[in-house]
Each structure stands twice: as structure tokens, then as C-alpha cells.
């Protein structure tokens, strides 16, 4: 998966692939998530 979006959906965070012609998302397993509304990703560090 080279091209993807990271999406917050309150109770989980998902990685959505943009490499395929259909919607394929994966729930990232992160414990203790209760009310996610935003996130920040550092691709350089």
C-alpha cells in the first residue's frame, strides 16, 4: 500500500488504500481509543 489515507472515525483509526479501484480499509489496532476527532502524521520522522 503506497498511496493511502488515514481516517479517524471516533472509535477507531482506519487506513484506506488508494492503490486499488475499490474501497479497501483496514482498522489500525490502537488500544484505548474513545473519541478521536483528528490526527497528525509525520512521514519524514
Res 31 pLDDT > 70: yes
CA–CA distance, 22 with 34 (Å, rounded to integer): 28
Q: pLDDT confidence of 39, banded at 50, 70, 90? A: confident
Q: What pLDDT score does 14 carry? A: 92
pLDDT digits (tens, 9 = 90+) for 15-25: 998 888 998 88
Which residues constitute the domain of residue 8? 1-44
How many separate domains does the chain show? 1
For residue 8, with 0-12 CB atoms within 10 Å meaning exposed, 13-18 middle and 19 or more buried, which class applies? middle
pTM above 0.85, yes or no: no
Average pLDDT over residues 1-13: 86
> Is residue 25 within a helix (H) or strand (E), and if so which, with residue range?
strand 24-28
- pLDDT at position 45 is 66
Contact 41, 27 (CB under 8 A): no
Which residue's entry shows cell 488504500?
Answer: 17
Amino acid at each position: 500500500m503506497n498511496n493511502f489515507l488515514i481516517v479517524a472515525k471516533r472509535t477507531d483509526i482506519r487506513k484506506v488504500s488508494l492503490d486499488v479501484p475499490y474501497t479497501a480499509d483496514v482498522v489500525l489496532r490502537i488500544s484505548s481509543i474513545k473519541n478521536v476527532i483528528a490526527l497528525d502524521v509525520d512521514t519524514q520522522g
